[in-house]
Structure 1
Amino acid sequence: MPPPMSVPGWVWAAALAGLLALILLDLFVVDRKPHRVTVSEAAKWVTFYVGCAVAFGVGVWIFGGSEHAAAFATGYITEYSLSVDNLFIFMIIMANFAVPAIHQHRVLLIGIMMALVMRGIFIGLGAQAVQHFSWIFWLFGGILIYTAWKLAVSKQEDEEYDPNGGLVRLVRKLFPVTSEYHGARLTIKRDGRRWVTPMLIVIVAIGGADLVFAVDSIPAIFGITQDAFLVFAANAFALMGLRQLYFLLGGLVEKLVYLSRGLAVILGFIGLKLVMHALHENELPFINGGEHVSWVPEINNWVSLGVIVSVLGITTLASILKTRRDERAGGGDEATADQSEATPTGEADKAPR
């Protein structure tokens, strides 16, 4: 892995200011008036956020070099693809709590702002850990390989998520919750008491879900680059574009039937890359006498980028082909069933055997 970039404080400040500007743009322009987000509107904003990420990557290439640009691109694509899988959970939460369509965009925006703060903390802790403890690469690699195995052996239709998990139950215990929504308000005052609306419960559920997702995504991005600035930027751009992607894909997410398998390959690949890097940085006394294992090859970011893009491309194509094949088969079955129902009993009995 290339050494981290030397990023001065003013660049960090400029990046955070740009991120804040995007959040304010969402709050006061995109979400100024709650409304149902259309596919065309979502497509425009997805294009805008992807364009922002591309522009940032070009800037990294100019000022940081091609290796760091490749690291950012690989990390961004990885985080974005993991986020697409997370959309399944967001859809379950939205459906479970019957969130009105006009308020779904704001729910996602607030939830993702919470996720940015939580991931920022995790990234800061992770960056310090990888700098001071070489064994952390073994831990991160193990987490990713275990997650990849779980994704590979589990069936997507059997996966379950409880939107009334621990955080939500805690909120319900601490505060009384209204049975109905009150616009986009999180709390109301009733009978001299402060009540929580279902809107706050939904936001807590989404924030809690993303906290769980971070257990996989943060080790994955550190398997690509140890540069805290690039790690944070890749996560921020992926999360900022996630809301619009939610409305753009909608039910199409369910048609990516092989997405979990593709993500399993990607996470397994990054986990293997982390293990190989851990061998290079090895200081554990029971492995090679505590010496670095220099003969193990390192996988550079260009190879990683090629593998990840190829896996996602093959996964998407295979999913589309299977979905179309199933739809044609289903259409044929329905036609057969309709024909059977339309056939008089007497004529069916006369059919040759």
Structure 2
Amino acid sequence: MPIESGVITLELWILFFAILGITIAIDLGLIHKLKRKLRKSSQPETEHIMSSKEALGWTLTWISLAGVFAGVIYFALGNEKMIEFVTGYALEKSLSVDNMFVFLLVFTTLGIPHKYQHRVLSLGILSAIAMRIALILVGASLLENFHWMIYVFGGLLWFTSIRMIMQKEEKKIELEKNIAVRILKKFMPVNLSLVGNSFVIRINGVLHATPLLVGLAIIELTDLVFAMDSIPAVLAITRDPFIVITSNVFAILGLRALYFLIGGMLERFHYLKPGLIVLLLFIGTKMIISEFYHIPTITSLVIVFVILATVIVASLLKKPKNKE
């Protein structure tokens, strides 16, 4: 039987941030660095390259951790909240995969090698978590105080779907035209020569941004745009800030490991874009008609999983094109 929600919610927030802090410290290697300092190791620290086996292990760990937290929500808040969490997690995870194509484009365009990519993604994910928590609180507050915002969010998802249908596939990022690079240049000059793992370098006494900082700026701005789509989508499932924040954060935390796991196989997901379009159209419709017809959360969960399963199976069955 669920415990009184007002009391358990505070405890759940504490549990969530405790798990978040510990897992981020482990994932970023902060504990390993602390041990090195305590041992006063004189050996130079080398860049860590995540192997496919390690990426698989971390991906399964993040998914399992989300599953455990879903169980905690079930025992603390009941079955309905647990279903909302799982639906929000699956929705955010699937929409986040589209981010990986941007990661790949950024690293390829800027020539950032594999061994430095994890530094960019680590900082990008940490700042994305802080940014999304703020955006979720704003979005939930808008829906709470201005009921008509539900039609705005629903229309935004429809607009995104139409934009994705008409959007041409990008093969590279045009740095001179990219808005993130142009904003960065207003603060400091940009040097596109790779200098180790540094985000900034000093040239003739002036700080310059390196490709790592340029890549981070592009990824951050892109995530802000993606968040404008994904957050309204999850708010269509539930308006509970706790469920929206935790499902979003758990989905984002495993994104770095998932990128290193399937980064080389992204081209195999031929039907990801059509699947995401259908997904956003469904969620947008759910928001717009919510005043007239309520689609149960369990139905939304089933539809989301059916769309994702169809995308994965269809993509795997499609024969790859013969390369010259």
TM over 0.5: yes
Counterpart in 1 of 2:23? Answer: 22
Aligned-partner Cα distance in 1 for 2:218–2:32: 21
Partner of 2:144: 131
Cα 1:31–1:247, aligned 2, differ >3 Å: closer, same or farther? farther
Tell me the distance in 2 between the aligned counterparts of 1:29 and 1:263: 35
Change (3 A) 1:13 1:276: same
Between the aligned partners of 1:61 and 1:267, the Cα distance in structure 2 is: 27
The CA RMSD over aligned residues, in Å, is 2.1
Aligned residues: 306
Shift of 1:133: 1.0
130-139 vs 22-31, greater mean Cα deviation: 22-31
Where 1:88 maps in the other structure, the secondary structure is helix
Aligned pair partner of 1:105 in 102, 105, 118: 118
Match of 1:115 in 2: 128
Task: Report the Cα distance in structure 2 between the residues aligned to 1:321 and 1:218, rounded to whole angstroms.
Answer: 31
2:226 corresponding residue in structure 1: 213
| Contact 2:25–2:31 (CA under 8 A) maintained in structure 1 | no
Cα pair distance change 1:163/1:116, threshold 3 Å: farther
1:181 matched residue in structure 2: 194
Match of 2:37 in 1: none
Partner of 2:56: 43
CA contact (8 A) 1:35 1:101 kept: no
The structural deviation recorded for 1:35 is 2.6
Measure how far apart 1:29 and its partner are. 5.5
CA contact 1:156–1:260 (8 Å) conserved in 2: no
Once residues 316 and 31 of structure 1 are traced to their aligned partners in structure 2, the CA distance between those partners, rounded to angstroms, is 36
Change beyond 3 A, Cα 1:31–1:101: farther
CA distance in 2, matches of 1:123, 1:87: 22
| CA separation of 1:59 and 1:226: change in aligned 2, threshold 3 A | same
Q: Which amino acid aligns with 2:260?
A: F
Q: CA deviation at 1:158?
A: 5.8
5+ long unaligned stretches in structure 2: 34-45
**Identity between Structure 1 and Structure 2 (%):** 35
- Letter of the 1:57 partner, please give it: A
| TM-fit CA distance, 1:243 | 0.4
Matched with 1:344 is none
TM-superposed CA distance for 1:174, in Å, is 2.3
Aligned with 2:287 (options 242, 266, 274):
274
Distance 1:299 1:148, change over 3 A: same
Task: For residues 270-289 of structure 1, give each alpha carbon's deviation from its aligned partner in whole angstroms, at most 9, with x where no partner exists.
Answer: 11111122x2xxxxxxxxxx
Q: Please, which of 296, 307, 311 is the counterpart of residue 315 of structure 1?
A: 311
Matched ranges for 1:152-231 at <5 A: 153-154=165-166, 157=169, 162=174, 165-231=178-244
Give the deviation of 1:44 after TM superposition: 0.5
What is the CA–CA distance in structure 2 between the aligned matches of 1:158 and 1:183, rounded to whole Å?
Answer: 28
Could you tell me which amino acid in structure 2 is paired with residue 154 of structure 1? M
The alignment status of 1:66 with 2:67, answered yes or no, reads no
Separation of aligned partners in 2, 1:156 and 1:48: 35
Aligned to 2:300: 304
Aligned residue for 1:9?
10
Residue ranges of structure 1 left out of the alignment (5+ in a row): 280-295, 335-353
Distance in 2 between the 1:255 and 1:309 partners? 19
Match of 1:343 in 2: none
- Three-state SS of the structure 2 residue aligned to 1:35 is coil
Structure 1 residues 304, 208: closer, same or farther in 2, change over 3 A?
A: same
Counterpart contact for 1:93–1:163, Cα < 8 Å? no
TM-score of the superposed pair, with normalisation by structure 1 = 0.81
Quote the Cα distance in structure 1 between the aligned partners of 2:133 and 2:54: 29
Distance 2:225 2:73 in 1: 30
1:235-246 correspondence to structure 2 within 5 Å: 235-246=248-259
What CA distance in whole angstroms lies between the structure 1 residues aligned with 2:11 and 2:180?
37
Contact 1:175 1:195 in 2 (8 A): yes
Contact kept, 8 Å, 1:142 with 1:271, in 2: the verdict is yes
SS at match of 2:273: helix
TM-score by length of 2: 0.88
Question: Which one has a bigger Cα radius of gyration?
Answer: 1
Q: Counterparts of 1:224 and 1:26 in 2: how far apart (Å)?
A: 29
1:120-145 CA-partner distances (Å, limit 9, x unpaired): 11011011111111101101111112
1:347 corresponds to which residue? none
Q: Secondary structure at the match of 1:189?
A: strand
